[in-house]
């Protein structure tokens, strides 16, 4: 089959790496891709959110199957447009993607289907929102309803701070995404990213990972797309996976089907493991990044076969996927200054040599090839150093020795404490 993969991050490099190993894949094209993806697939320079451009490419290249990595094209209805054209794809429709594109929709959906999540209310008027603070206690969790590039959540320590934040939300801090606001109860516990794949009716549990969202060690500094992750997460066992499936994931898939928006794709549940069990923080309708890189490294089955079965409503006919039990970590190398301002075009050396180290596999994110063939940074998050080990200590040591001893990129930085909680 001829496959198109949409996206350009570390998540997509890992997907491309895994898809290209499938016997079902004869030719892989990626739009727009990055320097790492270009080594294993043909890259077409069309942005992931250019729906018209992507459809033109798919028709010109007679693509058989489309896999969508990021949320933006899903939110813009790429899958709906492909279905109209009779092109098979893996990913949710625009209506099913509401689970990520509207936090208010998701919270109300949880209420309708009895899915455990933080107590909340939804506001479109500043005065009502401020009044509700009186019913809650600090810290106050305030969220923009719409997509805000991972920045639309504020945790305010005092009521005064929460009121100021609400004023900023309603005066357009997040554009339209912030004119509808969710205020919710603060939950304590540890966070897990849990993944499942659905064909709209049945649902296949995948595995869990733990992300590190803050820029600096010790969970300090601003929120980012994710600075590193590890999997498996000690303490998250088979029984907990079953509980998450029964209490959260299955009711969601059944609820979406009942509401005439059947969910086909990857469901990524951000969970808080609280004293009274797992509770949903948020849904995403795609793989996580940096989590996907770990899932692809641990998966011993054919990912493309799973995607195709899901798109055809035939997940039930598949055998359960096999997972490598060895721990894998992913340490993100980002450009100095990220998630704020950073330089582009700085030179990176040593990635090929790092890939020769035991257990190490580097996935590119924001990279490009310069005219002289050298590797350059072209984004905020730039490289993912993944490493497998017999133990989590070994995996961590391997990832950091690739970074410290082999890769040379003076303009980059990473967190030094990825997976520390697990050690
Ligand atoms: P979200 O984009 O909804 O995943 O929120 C971003 C981050 O804010 C989460 O990863 C949590 O660390 C934190 N967060 C969101 N909602 C809550 C909540 N209700 N209680 C505690 N922390 C939260
Ligand atoms: N790692 C979190 C995300 O992909 O949204």
Average pLDDT rounded to a whole number, residues 238-247:
97
Q: Which residues pair with 250 in a beta bridge?
A: none
Average pLDDT rounded to a whole number, residues 350-357:
98
148: pLDDT strictly greater than 90: no
Question: Can you give the pLDDT at residue 177?
Answer: 66
Question: Can you give the pLDDT at residue 152?
Answer: 85
30: pLDDT strictly greater than 80: yes
Question: What digits encode the pLDDT tens for the residues 94-122?
Answer: 999 999 999 999 999 999 999 999 999 99
Q: Which of 241, 298, 231, 295 is nearest to 266 (CA)?
A: 295
CA distance 313 to 320: 15
Average pLDDT rounded to a whole number, residues 322-351:
98
Q: Which atom of ligand 2 is nearest to the CA of 284?
A: 5
> Are 257 and 200 within 8 A, CB to CB?
yes
CA distance 295 to 93: 23
Average pLDDT rounded to a whole number, residues 191-198:
98
Name the residue of 142, 151, 174, 281 to mutate for ligand 1: max ligand atoms within 8 A of Cβ.
281
Angle between helices 250-258 and 103-113 (to 10 degrees): 100
| Ligand 1 touching residue 47 (CB < 6 A) | no
CA distance 28 to 23: 12
Determine the distance separating the centroid of ligand 1 and the alpha carbon of 307, expressed in angstroms. Answer: 29
Q: What is the architecture of the domain spanning 119-185?
A: 2-Layer Sandwich (3.30)
Question: Can you give the pLDDT at residue 178?
Answer: 63
**Domain boundaries, given as residue ranges, for the chain:** 2-91, 119-185, 190-317, 328-413
Average pLDDT rounded to a whole number, residues 397-418:
98
CATH level 3 topology of 328-413: 3.90.600
- 190-317 — its CATH code? 3.30.470.20
Side-chain half-sphere of 310: how many Cα atoms within 13 Å?
A: 28
Q: Higher-confidence residue: 387 or 222?
A: 387
pLDDT-based confidence at residue 77 (cuts at 50, 70, 90): very high
Residue with tokens 């996976």: 241
Least distant ligand from the CA of 280: 1
| Ligand 1 touching residue 118 (CB < 6 A) | yes
Fold agreement between 119-185 and 328-413: no
Question: Can you give the pLDDT at residue 29?
Answer: 98
173: pLDDT strictly greater than 90: no
| Ligand 2 touching residue 311 (CB < 6 A) | no
pTM over 0.85? The answer is yes
Nearby residues of 356 by Cβ (< 8 Å), 6 or more positions away: none
Question: Can you give the pLDDT at residue 179?
Answer: 79
pLDDT-wise least confident of 145-159, 342-356, 403-417? 145-159
CA distance 228 to 216: 11
Q: Which CATH code, of 3.30.420.80, 3.30.470.10, 3.20.20.70, 3.40.50.20, is assigned to 2-91?
A: 3.40.50.20
Question: Can you give the pLDDT at residue 421?
Answer: 86
Give a three-class secondary structure readout of 321-381: CCECCCCEEEEEEEECCCCCCCCCCCEEECHHHHCCCCCEEEEECCEEECCCCCEEECCCE
């Amino acid at each position: 089959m001829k496959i198109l993969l949409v996206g350009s991050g570390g998540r997509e490099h890992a997907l491309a790496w895994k898809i290209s190993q499938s016997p079902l894949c004869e030719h892989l094209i990626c739009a727009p891709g990055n320097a790492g993806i270009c080594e294993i697939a043909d890259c077409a320079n069309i942005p992931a959110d250019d729906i018209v451009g992507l459809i033109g490419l798919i028709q010109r290249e007679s693509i058989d199957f489309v896999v969508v990595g990021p949320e933006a094209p899903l939110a813009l209805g790429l899958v709906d447009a492909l279905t109209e054209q009779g092109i098979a794809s893996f990913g949710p429709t625009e209506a099913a993607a509401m689970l990520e594109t509207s936090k208010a929709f998701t919270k109300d959906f949880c209420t309708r289907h009895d899915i455990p999540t933080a107590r909340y209310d939804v506001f479109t008027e500043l005065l009502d929102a401020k009044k509700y603070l009186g019913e809650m206690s600090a810290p106050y969790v305030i969220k923009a309803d719409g997509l805000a590039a991972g920045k639309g959540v504020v945790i305010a320590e005092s009521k005064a701070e929460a009121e100021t934040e609400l004023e900023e939300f309603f005066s357009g801090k997040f554009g339209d995404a912030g004119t509808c606001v969710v205020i919710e109860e603060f939950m304590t516990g540890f966070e897990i990213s849990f993944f499942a794949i659905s064909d709209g009716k049945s649902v296949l549990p995948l595995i869990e990972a733990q992300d590190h969202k803050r820029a600096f060690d010790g969970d300090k500094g601003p929120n980012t797309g994710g600075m590193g992750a590890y999997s498996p997460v000690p303490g998250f066992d088979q029984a907990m996976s079953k509980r998450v499936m029964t209490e959260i994931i299955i009711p969601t898939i059944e609820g979406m089907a009942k509401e005439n928006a059947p969910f086909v794709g990857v469901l990524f549940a951000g969970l808080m493991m609280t004293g009274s069990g797992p509770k949903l923080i948020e849904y995403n309708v795609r793989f996580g990044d940096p989590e996907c890189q770990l899932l692809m490294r641990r998966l011993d089955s054919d990912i493309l076969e799973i995607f195709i079965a899901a798109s055809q409503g035939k997940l039930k006919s598949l055998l359960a996927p096999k997972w490598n039990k060895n721990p894998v970590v992913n340490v993100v190398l980002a450009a100095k200054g990220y998630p704020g301002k950073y330089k582009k075009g700085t030179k990176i050396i040593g990635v090929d040599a790092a890939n020769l180290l035991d257990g190490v596999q580097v996935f590119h994110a924001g990279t490009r090839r310069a005219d002289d063939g050298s590797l350059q940074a072209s984004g905020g998050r730039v490289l993912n150093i993944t490493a497998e080990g017999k133990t989590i200590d070994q995996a961590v040591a391997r990832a950091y020795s690739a970074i410290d001893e082999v890769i040379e990129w003076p303009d980059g930085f990473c967190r030094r404490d990825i997976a520390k909680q697990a050690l």
